[in-house]
Copies of this chain bind each other. A is one copy, B any other.
């Protein structure tokens, strides 16, 4: 059906005649402002449409989702991405780890993502690990050297058992703890023997308050005897607000009862289908969670699983093109454009403005007319304190334009968090945020409407 010459053509093309301009990664962006401007031969540029849109849509969506989770959790909490098993495919998971970090997460449980992008790794053992143990008899090597190397405890398991008796008998903890699950105790002790410096226990395999917490405390206290500091616990089911508060009380009681400074501050991690709403609800109830492990809702962007970025032809052979639609929101803004963010006196961004390439750049201190792209009556003069050009050249093709630097992931992450902090708070509040204004220059406004009238057939009402 197809000419061989077509395949020869495909084999021969490359991106040497293409120029790509983009808003720096990690920037806050608003609808209508182009994230990228791609220039080049139409056939080559069309081939780039699908990969670009695929790669940008999900990355932007999940970064935004991560930033929203950070916003609701607050700066002081540790946020860990735990999404690999529920992500939409293996590279959906890898992208999620990368972009959640960019959006303000602290760590991932995805080891490959950690390896590829240098993201800190954090995780805990599984429920299966706990239930793979039956009893303490299954631990063959019970020796553990003191942290300072000074001496060796020959029977760490006995030390754990002694501590369990002590906390069961302690006055301040009386009536809290009965018999605990022995397979769970064996799993915790075994884990602590292997990783004495990073003992973090998942405490809900059998019963959080009656088994997981006392078992954890016994092992943590035994580790303390040998100079180690346990990391903390993870709650993965039940009423996280209540359980975290009760757990914190136990930790404080143990700190006091046995005079172990810092035991009360043991890290409490929560997981189990967390999302913005549940974290917000926890905040309102009060809780003692220090770190959140968030998976499914984060990486699949459950509350909005797709972002609708599109790729539009806006100019060809120096002739601007427009795509009309019954739905005004879908009408494309024609012309090769430059885009600027105008900042006000207080340092907040006020408005983004798009201009035709031939127009002079807006300048700080000048009075600039900013118009809504479609609604004639919506317009305002702005005198910006500072003007930032948004699109930078990241792929100059064979032109001699300078190529903007691609910063490290850590720098992009910082940019992302700084950009969000710079926004006026009402633009990012959870309920009824004020829309941020996106405008066009007076010249571009006139041109859009000239083109619109020329391209659209005139209807007849009958």
Tell me whether A258 is interfacial, beta carbon within 8 Å. Answer: no
Chain B residues whose C-beta falls within 8 Å of the C-beta of A90 in the assembled complex: 51, 54-55, 91
Expressed in whole angstroms, the minimum distance between the Cβ of A168 and any Cβ of chain B is 12
Are B306's CB and A86's CB within 8 A?
yes
At the interface, yes or no: A271 with Cβ under 8 Å from chain B? no
B contact residues around A324 at 8 Å (CB): 205-207
Question: Is A244 in contact with chain B by the CB < 8 A criterion?
Answer: no
- For the complex formed by this chain, how many copies does it contain in all? 2
Contact check, B301 vs A85: say whether CB atoms are below 8 A apart: no
Given A210-B457, A305-B301, A456-B207; A89-B84 close (CB under 8 Å): no
Q: A126-B49, A237-B327, A319-B134 are in contact. Are A206 and B456 (CB under 8 A)?
A: yes
Q: Which residues of B contact A205 (CB under 8 A)?
A: 323-324
Q: With an 8 A cutoff between CB atoms, is A316 at the interface?
A: yes
Tell me, yes or no, whether A421 is within 8 Å of chain B by CB.
Answer: no
Near B by CB (< 8 A), chain A positions 224-278 give 237-238
Q: Are B88 and A457 in contact (CB under 8 A)?
A: no
- Chain B residue at minimum C-beta to C-beta distance from A131: B321
Q: How many residues of A contact B (CB 8 A)?
A: 76
Q: A302-B306, A455-B206, A456-B206 are in contact. Are A85 and B58 (CB under 8 A)?
A: no
Chain B neighbourhood of A300, CB < 8 A: 88, 300, 305-306
Interface mask (A117-145 → B, CB under 8 Å = 1, otherwise 0):
00000000011110110100000000000
Q: Establish whether residues B321 and A46, one from each chain, have CB atoms under 8 Å apart when the complex forms.
A: no
Residue pair A88, B87 in contact (C-beta under 8 Å): yes
Residues from 76 to 92 in A contacting B, C-beta threshold 8 Å: 84-92
Interface of chain A residues 285 through 314 with chain B (CB within 8 A): 296-297, 300-302, 305-308, 311-313
In the bound assembly, the distance between CA atoms of A324 and B42 in angstroms comes to 60
Given the contacts A306-B300, A457-B211, A458-B178, A313 and B86 also touching, CB distance less than 8 Å = no
SS class of chain A's interface: helix, strand, loop or mixed? loop
B42 touches A58 (CB 8 A): no
The contact of A237 among B210, B319, B330, by CB within 8 Å, is B330
Question: Does A89 lie within 8 Å of B85, measured CB to CB?
Answer: no
Contact residues in B for A297 (Cβ distance below 8 Å): 306
Q: How far is the CA of A308 from the CA of B455 in the complex (A)?
A: 50
Chain A, range 49-65, C-beta contacts under 8 Å to B: 49-51, 53-55, 57-58, 62
16 more contacts with CB within 8 A, not counting A89-B89, A183-B455, are A46-B126, A46-B128, A54-B90, A58-B87, A58-B92, A62-B88, A86-B308, A89-B94, A90-B91, A128-B312, A128-B313, A175-B460, A178-B460, A205-B323, A206-B324, A296-B308
Interface set of A (CB-CB < 8 Å, partner B): 1, 42, 46, 49-51, 53-55, 57-58, 62, 84-96, 126-129, 131-132, 134, 175, 178-181, 183, 197, 204-207, 210-211, 237-238, 296-297, 300-302, 305-308, 311-313, 316, 319, 321-327, 330, 455-460, 462
